[in-house]
Amino acid sequence: MDVDYIVVGIGIAGISFCEQLRANGKTFVVFDDESQQSSTVAGGLYNPVVLKRFTSVWKSTEQLGIALPLYQRIEKRLKVKLDYKIPVYRKFASLEEQNDWFSASDKPLLSRYLSTNIIKNNNKAIDAPFGFGEVLETGRVDVKTMIEAYKTDLLKDDLLVETQFKYPDLQLHDDSVNYKSINAKHIVFAEGSGIRQNPYFNTLPLNPAKGELLIIHAPDLKIDFVLKAGVFLIPLGDDLYIVGATYEWKDLSHDITEKAKNELLPKLEKLISCSFKVVNQVAGIRPTVKDRRPLVGKHQDYGNMFVLNGLGTRGVMIGPYVAKQLYNLIEHTEALENDIDINRFN
C-alpha cells in the first residue's frame, strides 16, 4: 500500500489531522489499538474562558474559528450529531466574584464571550444566591460518538489498522517511511499519553494526568446548561449529567477509583440538593504539558517524522487549530508558532 501519510492514533488529535489530509486530497492510513482513552472519556466542552481566573483561553477565537467548521464537516459526512450548543454558567460565590466578572467582561479578549447579565437562580436544587455568569459561544462535542463513527468510516474504506504499532518495524529513509507493507511519505504520531513508549519522542516533557468522571442520574435537577462551581456539571439528556473531573499524577492506570469518586461526590453534594444516583464512572489519561501548550513538530533527526500531542483538557478546541499548523509545516514549510513547537524545549 502506498499512501502520503501514516497516522498513529485516532483520538481528537488524530482525527483533526486526518481532516486536514481529507480536505487537501492526501491519502493516509491510521493505526490505533484503543490503548489510549483520554479522548473517549473527554467531557468535550469548548469554552473560550478560563473560569477559575476569568481569563481568555490562549488563541480562543482562532481555535473556535477552525474547530467548529471541522466538526460540522464531520457531522455532515458521517451523518451524526456531534456539536451541541449549550451555555456555560459560572456560579458566583460572592458579590466580589460578580464584580470580578464585570471587570473581566471589559477586557478586549473577553468582551465577546462574557455576558454582562447576571442570571438569577430559580432552580431549587441548586444553592446559588449570587446567581450565575454566562459564557457565550460555548458547547459540547460528543467526542465518543465522533471517534466511534470516524473509526467505522475508516474501516469501511480499509484505512484503519486496529493493532499495536510496533516501532522496531518502522524503517526510515530520506524521502519515505516504510511500515511492513505500507510505504508513506510521512508519519505523524498522535498517540496521547502513549508517546511515553515511543522511542522517537519519549523525551518530550509530557506530563500524563489521569482524569475521572462520574455519570449521574438526577431526575429533579433539570438544567439545560453546563454549570461550573468546583466541578463541571454537564447535561447529557434523559436526566443524565457528567460530573468532573479529577487530576491524578501518580496512578496512571485506566482503572476507576474510589478515591476519585470520593473527591467528586462532596463537591457535587455541595452544589446540588436533589437526589441523584451514580450510574457510571470512567477514567482516561490526559496528555498535558507543563506550559499548557501542545507538542507539535518535526523530529530533529528524521525529516518525515512528526508529532501532534499534548492537547490537555481543551482538546476539542485546540486540536483542529494545531493540526492545521502541522499540516502547513509539512506541506508548505510554514513555521509553527513558537508556543507549540517542540523545539521550545531544546
pLDDT at residue 18, rounded to an integer: 98
Assess whether 218 and 188 both reside in one domain: no
Which pairing describes strands 206-217 and 277-289: parallel, antiparallel, or unpaired?
antiparallel
Mean pLDDT of 80-87: 96
Specify the number of domains making up the chain. 3
Q: Enter the pTM of the model.
A: 0.94
Residue 334 forms part of a structural domain: yes
pLDDT tens per residue across span 252-304: 888 999 999 999 999 999 999 999 999 999 998 889 999 999 999 999 999 99
Report the candidate in 156, 110, 163, 161 with the shortest Cα–Cα distance to residue 137: 110
Residue 9 forms part of a structural domain: yes
* CATH code for the domain of 299: 3.50.50.60
Radius of gyration of the chain (CA): 21
Structural domain of 107: 87-136
pLDDT at residue 313, rounded to an integer: 86
Assess whether 156 and 167 both reside in one domain: yes
pLDDT tens per residue across span 129-145: 999 999 999 999 999 99
Select from 288, 322, 337 the last residue of a domain.
288
Residue 74 forms part of a structural domain: no
Assess whether 185 and 249 both reside in one domain: no
Report the candidate in 284, 204, 213 with the shortest Cα–Cα distance to residue 252: 284
Q: Of the ranges 38-42, 183-187, 264-268, 301-305, which one carries the lowest mean pLDDT score?
A: 38-42
Q: Are 288 and 208 in contact (CB under 8 A)?
A: yes
DSSP-derived 3-state class of residue 234: strand
Q: What are phi and psi of 283, to 5 degrees?
A: -135, 150
Assess whether 322 and 252 both reside in one domain: no
Select from 136, 165, 193 the last residue of a domain.
136
Assess whether 157 and 301 both reside in one domain: yes
Sheet (strand 231-237) strand order: 132-135, 88-91, 226-229, 231-237, 240-244, 206-217, 277-289
Assess whether 275 and 217 both reside in one domain: yes
End-to-end CA distance of the chain: 35
Assess whether 131 and 173 both reside in one domain: no
CA distances for 135 relative to 54, 252, 307, 309, 340, angstroms = 10, 33, 33, 28, 26
Mean pLDDT of 10-19: 96
Residue 338 forms part of a structural domain: yes
Residue 50 forms part of a structural domain: no
Residue 33 forms part of a structural domain: yes
Q: Are 149 and 160 in contact (CB under 8 A)?
A: no
* CATH code for the domain of 237: 3.30.9.10
Distance CA 272, CA 328 (A): 47
Distance CA 136, CA 118 (A): 13
Select from 288, 305, 325 the last residue of a domain.
288
Assess whether 220 and 324 both reside in one domain: no
Assess whether 216 and 284 both reside in one domain: yes
Assess whether 271 and 295 both reside in one domain: no
* Band (34; pLDDT cuts 50, 70, 90): confident
Residue 330 forms part of a structural domain: yes
Distance CA 28, CA 158 (A): 10
Q: Of the ranges 7-16, 27-36, 304-313, which one carries the lowest mean pLDDT score?
A: 27-36
pLDDT at residue 230, rounded to an integer: 85
Assess whether 24 and 161 both reside in one domain: yes
Residue 131 forms part of a structural domain: yes
Mean pLDDT of 202-217: 93
Assess whether 251 and 108 both reside in one domain: no
pLDDT tens per residue across span 305-344: 999 999 988 999 999 999 999 999 999 999 999 999 999 9
